[in-house]
Amino acid sequence: MIFTLARKELRSLFASPLAWVVLAVLQFVLAWIFLMRLDSFMELQPRLAQLANAPGVTEVVIAPLYSAAAVVLMMATPLLAMRLIAEERRNRTMTLLISAPISMTQIVLGKFVGLVLFLLMPVVMITATGMILKVGAEIDFGLIGANVLGLALLLGTFAAVGVFASSLTRQPIVAAIVALGLLVASWLASLANPDPSSLVQMISVTRRFESFNAGLVDSGDVIWQLLATAVFLVLTIRQLDRDRLVGQAI
């Protein structure tokens, strides 16, 4: 049932130009970064060769690609998520889902899974871009694996925040701004306050990704990221249930 809904969301995403534009722009930006990084790696290579424990091509070229993707997708996910619930409300199609014999949890998870499946596409694309280097260099697959896992978990949290923002309103653009505000505020706050024990760092959505980006898979980070995702999904379900009690949000 969840996958029926997820498939419908994917179909609707691809029926609009937004999804295609996001994918194209993302790939263009990342390809640019990839080539710039590769260029500077070529310049640095003679000097790196003299170091005892020099960083490899994966660390210098591919890992920054993932952190760039994290930032770009932080901007793009709210735009992709904004329609999920807000537009169903505005077009009054939500009734179809609510009157069907499925629970609110399934509706929310269906939409979330649909969005996450879409967001995994850029992850695959980035990984494929990095793999090109296999032609002429040794690649650290462990580091790439940590990055893929970290980015996928991070995108899950982004998607959950986006879905939650979409459940608060019936104007998609308002939902996008709310989600963008939440994510960027958390990101900027943690940039401005680097003390790792501070509260800002504790609740920072993006900080956990930094250790994945460096190749460190900490089960605590995995659990934190999954919990953050779950919290926003539960909030969404509660929000929709509340709507049924008091009528729909404006």
Partner 1 sequence: MQMLTGNLSPSEGSISICGIDLVDQPVAAKRHIGYLPEHPPLYRELTVDEFLRLAGRLHGMARTPLQQAIDSVKARCGIADTGKRLLGSLSKGYQQRVGIAQAILHDPDVVVLDEPTVGLDPIQIRDIRSLIRALGEERSVILSTHILPEVEAACDRVEIMHLGRIVFSDTIAALDEFTRGLALQVGFRHPPSSETLAAVPGINRVEALGQNQFLLGRDPANDPTDEIVRRSVLEGWGLYELSPPHSRLEEVFVHLTRDESGA
In whole angstroms, the minimum distance from the beta carbon of 250 to partner 1 comes to: 16
In whole angstroms, the minimum distance from the beta carbon of 158 to partner 1 comes to: 24
Residue 78, φ and ψ in degrees, nearest 5: -55, -35
Six-digit token string for 46: 């003679």
Residues that bind partner 1 (CB under 8 A): 1, 4-5, 8, 11-12, 15-16, 91-103, 244-245, 247
Measured from the CB atom, the residue of 17 and 136 that comes closer to partner 1 is 17
How many degrees, rounded to 5, is the angle at CA 86 between CA 84 and CA 90?
A: 120
DSSP 94-123: HHHHHHSS--HHHHHHHHHHHHHHHHHHHH
Measured from the CB atom, the residue of 8 and 238 that comes closer to partner 1 is 8
Measured from the CB atom, the residue of 4 and 198 that comes closer to partner 1 is 4
Measured from the CB atom, the residue of 14 and 32 that comes closer to partner 1 is 14
Residue among 198, 201, 175 nearest 186 (CA): 201
Measured from the CB atom, the residue of 97 and 133 that comes closer to partner 1 is 97
In whole angstroms, the minimum distance from the beta carbon of 178 to partner 1 comes to: 24
In whole angstroms, the minimum distance from the beta carbon of 100 to partner 1 comes to: 4
DSSP 25-81: HHHHHHHHHHHHHHHHHHHHHHHHHHSTT---HIIIIIHHHHHHHHHHHHHHHHHHH
Measured from the CB atom, the residue of 48 and 102 that comes closer to partner 1 is 102
Using a 10 angstrom Cβ sphere, with 0-12 exposed, 13-18 middle and 19 or more buried, the burial of residue 250 is exposed
In whole angstroms, the minimum distance from the beta carbon of 18 to partner 1 comes to: 12
In whole angstroms, the minimum distance from the beta carbon of 166 to partner 1 comes to: 16
Furthest-apart CA atoms within the chain: distance in Å? 69
Cβ-contact 97, 85 below 8 angstroms: no
